[in-house]
Structure formats: structure tokens, C-alpha cells
Structure 1
Amino acid sequence: MDIRPLSETYAVSPQIALEDLEAIRDAGYRAVIDNRPDAEIPDELHTGAMRAQAEALGLAFFANPVIGGALTMQNVTAQAEAIAAAPGPVLAYCASGNRSSIVWALSQAGTRPAAELIAAAAQHGYQLAHLAPQIEALAAQKSAS
């Protein structure tokens, strides 16, 4: 398990295993967001198994499968809603942490400058600079509504 904090309340990780969930809870995370579609992973890591184990440990669990190269606004909205509903710090995971970083940055548009969101991800090797125009456009939409 490789936890990479992007903010005080949100971290990403490459794929986690069932046995990692206890350590995630013990590290202070209170919610887990699964950004990985079941079709990409072995049966034992499917959403249902991960949810059951997380909830048995007292963690909130949210499934928001993001298909590589096919991110939707529904994914962005679902990520924002999961973060807002989480009872404490969130750990989101996918194959490498990249999709969890991208959907986070887009979901947080307007809460912090785009450059800060991009820099937070870059500290852990996630290159999101190409998303700056999208983050800024989403922030403008939020401020207009």
C-alpha cells in the first residue's frame, strides 16, 4: 500500500488489498473511494468484497468507477459528493492513483486555485497540468451558479 496525500483530508493510492483496509483505518482515514471498475481487477478485489470489508472495519465506502480515458462529469460529481459525505479523511484508489487524482482535482475546482490542485498531485508524480483549463472552467461554472 502506498498512500499519497494530496490534501489534509484526501489521499490516493494504487490498488489496495482487503488486508490493507485495517491499516488505512488505523492511519486515520474514515472513508474509502473505489475509483476502479470491477472489470479491471480480480474477483477478490471487486467492489462488493472491498465494501464489505471496509464497512466491517467501520469505514465509509463509496464506489465511483472511473474508466480510463472515459472520465465523465457524473464521475466528477460523484467524487465531490463522496468527499463531502465522508465522515473524515478519505483514501481513494485506482490502478495507479492517477484517475483518483484527476477526478479529485476536477471535483475540487473552485475550492482552491487550479495551480494548487495540480501542484498537490505533482508532488506524487501525477501530471495534471493539462487539466488546468478544465479545472478553471469548472471553477467559473461553480462561481456563476
Structure 2
Amino acid sequence: MDIRALTPTYSVSPQIETADLAALKAAGYVAVIDNRPDAEIPPNLQTITMRSAAEAAGLAFFANPVIGGMMTMENVTAQAAAIKEAGGPVLAYCASGNRSSICWALAHAGQMPTDDLIAIPGRFGYQLEGLRGQLDAMAKNG
């Protein structure tokens, strides 16, 4: 696993395996958010398999599939709701961690400075500068 902690309670990573879930639980995570659509991954990593394994490991599991380049406000709202419902440290994963970082940034627009929402994922190579206008607009509109 290549876990990248954006905050003490929200981390992102590239695709995880079912075998990683026990280690996530042992590391203090309480939930996993799957941001990958089933259409882009093999059957052994699809939502139903990952949900079953996560729940067996004692983790809450949230499926919020984000199609690359086609993120919706429903995805952002669902991510924010999952983070809130989890009530503790969350690991969100996708192919690289980028979509999970974007969901986090958009879900926190107006709650944190835009510069931080861009810089924090930037430490891990996620380039969110292109979202600056959208983050600022979302912060302004509450």
C-alpha cells in the first residue's frame, strides 16, 4: 500500500487489495471509500468483493465511484457524507489517489483555505491548481 495522509483523518492511495484491509484496521482506520467504478477494475477488486472484505475486517465501506474526468457534485457530496459518517480516519482509494484527493478538496471548499486544499495534495504529486477557480467559487457560495 502507498498511503498518503492528507490530514490526520483522511488519507488517499492507489488501488488497495483485500489483503490490505486488516492492516488498515490495525493502523487505526475506521472506513474505506472506494472511488473506482467497477468497469475499470478486475472482478477481484470490484465493489462487492471489497465491501465484503472491508466489513469482515471491521471497517465501514463506502462506494463512491468517480469516472475519470467526469466527477459530479453528487460524488463530492457523497464523499463528504462518507467522511462525516465514518467519524474517524478514512482511507479513500482510486487508481492513483488523484480522484480521491480531488473529492476531498472539493468537499472541503470553504472549510479550509483554497491554498491548503491545493498544496496538501500537491505534496504527493496531485496537481489540483486547475481547480482553484472552482474551489474559490464553491467557498464563496457556501
Query: Residue in 2 aligned with 1:44?
Result: 44
Query: Residue in 1 aligned with 2:63?
Result: 63
C-alpha distance in 2 between matches for 1:76 and 1:137: 15
The ranges of structure 1 where at least 4 consecutive aligned residues each deviate by more than 4 angstroms after the TM superposition are none
| Residue 28 (structure 1) shift | 1.0
| Aligned residues between the structures | 142
C-alpha distance in 2 between matches for 1:134 and 1:82: 22
Given that 1:15 and 1:95 are in contact with CA atoms closer than 8 Å, whether structure 2 keeps it comes out as: yes
Query: Residue in 2 aligned with 1:113?
Result: 113
Q: Structure 2 stretches of 5 or more lacking a match? A: none
The TM-score normalised by the length of structure 1 is 0.96
Cα RMSD (Å): 0.7
Query: Residue in 1 aligned with 2:134?
Result: 134
The one-letter amino acid paired with 2:5 is P
Query: Residue in 1 aligned with 2:33?
Result: 33
C-alpha distance in 1 between matches for 2:25 and 2:45: 18
C-alpha distance in 2 between matches for 1:114 and 1:67: 24
Fraction of identical pairs, as percent? 65
2:7 is equivalent to residue 10 of structure 1: no
The TM-score normalised by the length of structure 2 is 0.98
Given that 1:60 and 1:87 are in contact with CA atoms closer than 8 Å, whether structure 2 keeps it comes out as: no
Secondary structure of the corresponding residue to residue 32 of structure 2: strand
C-alpha distance in 2 between matches for 1:9 and 1:87: 9
Given that 1:109 and 1:139 are in contact with CA atoms closer than 8 Å, whether structure 2 keeps it comes out as: yes
Secondary structure of the corresponding residue to residue 6 of structure 1: strand
| Residue 87 (structure 1) shift | 2.9
Secondary structure of the corresponding residue to residue 32 of structure 1: strand
C-alpha distance in 1 between matches for 2:115 and 2:31: 26
The one-letter amino acid paired with 1:72 is T
Query: Residue in 1 aligned with 2:123?
Result: 123
Q: Structure 1 stretches of 5 or more lacking a match? A: none
